[in-house]
Structure 1
Amino acid sequence: MPRSAPPFTPTPPVPYSSPTVPVPCPLLELLSLAFLLCSWLLALSCCLSPWMERHLELVELEKVHVSLWSGCVVQDSVFSCKPHSSLLSLPLPLLLGRGLLLGALMSGAAAIAVTVPGLRLVHMPKCFGVAASGALKRRLRGCGAVLCVLSAVLEACPVSWAGYVTIRRYQEDTILEMIPRWDLGIGLFLGWTSAAVYMLTVGALWSSCREEGEVTAQRGRSMVQRDGARQEYV
């Protein structure tokens, strides 16, 4: 009798192995959050610290500090402060600095409130959906970067103007040498530092959004290749 041929068993297709997609590192996001908190605290210190100071040569070890809110006299490590009696008595750089510094603090607080939910380590509420969480987080970090730029501009403008006016008055030849002159206070340096850290925050946020966008695009290409390979096996 002729032997019957064995039944044909098709070879199962080799499962498609997708290429390894790198996972975006949250280091940039944590660094941007640290920069953002540091810059906001520096802005708050700038708002409370003296912007101008003057050394009185007639009285030994006595200094006069002028901030946005009060004027202080320091003698033998003893502070005697008095709030400004009227807004009209303030110089124009300090008067303008009050409004712009308060705006910078408010925009910085808004940047913190927007950036923190945009971090990948922070879970989004379920009402946003899982599919839209990645794009929404990138948009939130982008809004935080725009608010950081606004805060840096609002802070750098009055601080730079006050520093320019103080330096110009210090170098005036019409003032007698025996008259004490105003010098730059620590608040101006804190303001410049805060504006610089704000710009570092913008760079870190932009880099994190760009890195996550590239990883998302690479994942989309790998999914298209995977679906095409599955259709070939069918």
Structure 2
Amino acid sequence: MALSIRARLQLGGLVLSLLGWVCSCVTIVLTQWKTLNTEMNLMDTWTMGLWEACINREEVAIVCKAFDSFFSLPGELQVARVLMIISQGLGLLGLLLSGCGSECCQFFRTRKVLKGCLCLLGGTLEALASATTLFPVSWVAHAIVQEFWDDRIPEIVPRWEFGDALFLGWAAGLFLAVGGLLLIVSTCLGKENMPSPRMADSTASPS
């Protein structure tokens, strides 16, 4: 059975939203938000995440230590931890609502208007999840750049650099944004194809 244009947009939005949500989940647990490698000891690489800091000793082992307190984190990582947790909740709730509102879901007999509202709400939540993912990742990157080019810090002091988690976070935010946009567009497309009440009455009533 061929899918309609609306169903294809919804399916694409759901797949991209799911991919973005999974990438966001991986981003929040990775320790490579910040990386540091000193010239005096090239064998050791320091990494910092939202929950713990690690040191990677080449050909030896990786040793990690969880942060003792939330307030011991830098300001940008404190905000990033809170917003990334909010992003997980928004993304999951958006997936559930838009999945129930899509045409592919036939488990519950719901009216088209209600399914459209669920899909629209789910797409909006995915867009919010994208914002709450991109903002903390970009803020951490901005703080790293500011500290890297700070003239007040002596040159001999090692500087933090971008970690792999930042790039994965940007990809997650992009997937969530495009997925939410497709879900919202599919709802608007469904409203355009929906017949008006007057036309429905005129076709239903006999001449």
Q: Name the TM-score, length of structure 1 as normaliser.
A: 0.79
CA offset digits 1:168-207 (Å, max 9, x no partner) = 0000122222221100112222222222212101221122
**How far, CA to CA, are the matches of 2:198 and 2:105 in structure 1?**
23
Q: Deviations over 1:79-132 (max 9, x none)?
A: 111111222221111111111110110111111111111111111424x4xxxx
The answer to whether the 8 A contact 2:127-2:181 is kept is: no
Q: Aligned partners of 2:174, 2:198: CA distance in 1, in Å?
A: 37
Query: Hey, what does 1:99 align to over in structure 2?
Result: 82
Q: Equivalences for 1:44-123 in 2 at 5 Å? A: 44-49=25-30, 50-77=32-59, 78-123=61-106
- Give the letter for the 2:179 counterpart: T
Q: Is 2:149 the counterpart of 1:166?
A: no
SS of residue paired to 1:111: helix
**1:60-89: per-residue Cα shift (whole Å, max 9, x none)?**
232100000111111215311111122222
Q: Is the 8 A contact 2:98 2:118 kept in 1?
A: yes
Instruction: Report the Cα offset of residue 219 of structure 1.
Output: 10
Larger Rg: 1
Asked whether the equivalents of residues 24 and 212 of structure 1 are also in contact (C-alpha less than 8 Å), the reply is: no
1: CA distance, partners of 2:192 / 2:198: 10
Aligned to 1:42: 23
Q: Distance in 2 between matches of 1:72 and 1:27?
A: 44
Per-residue displacement from partner, 1:6-55 (whole Å, max 9, x unpaired)? xxxxxxxxxxxxxxxx9545211110010110110111111112211101
1:31 and 2:9 are equivalent in the alignment? no
Residue identity opposite 1:56 in structure 2 = T
After TM superposition, where is structure 1 displaced by more than 6 Å over at least 4 residues in a row?
none
CA deviations over 1:120-172 (Å, ceiling 9, x no partner) = 1111424x4xxxx2111100011001111221222222222111111000001
**Structure 1 position 207 matched with structure 2 position 190:** no
Contact 2:13 2:183 in 1 (8 A): yes
Distance 1:43 1:121 in 2: 25
Q: Structure 1: where are the runs of 5+ without partners?
A: 1-21
Change (3 A) 1:74 1:220: farther
Indicate the percent of aligned positions where both proteins have the same amino acid. Answer: 23
Question: How many residues of Structure 1 are paired with residues of Structure 2 in the alignment?
Answer: 203
| Root-mean-square deviation over aligned CA pairs | 2.2
Q: CA deviation at 1:226?
A: 4.5
**Which residue number in structure 2 is paired with residue 11 of structure 1?**
none
The Cα of 1:218 is off from its aligned counterpart by 7.8
Which residue is equivalent to 1:143? 121
Q: Secondary structure at the match of 2:195?
A: helix
Which sections of structure 2, spanning at least 5 residues, go unmatched?
none
Say if 1:23 and 1:215, in contact at 8 Å, map to a contact too: no
- Structure 2 CA distance for aligned equivalents of residues 87 and 25 of structure 1: 45
Structure 1 residue aligned with 2:133: 155
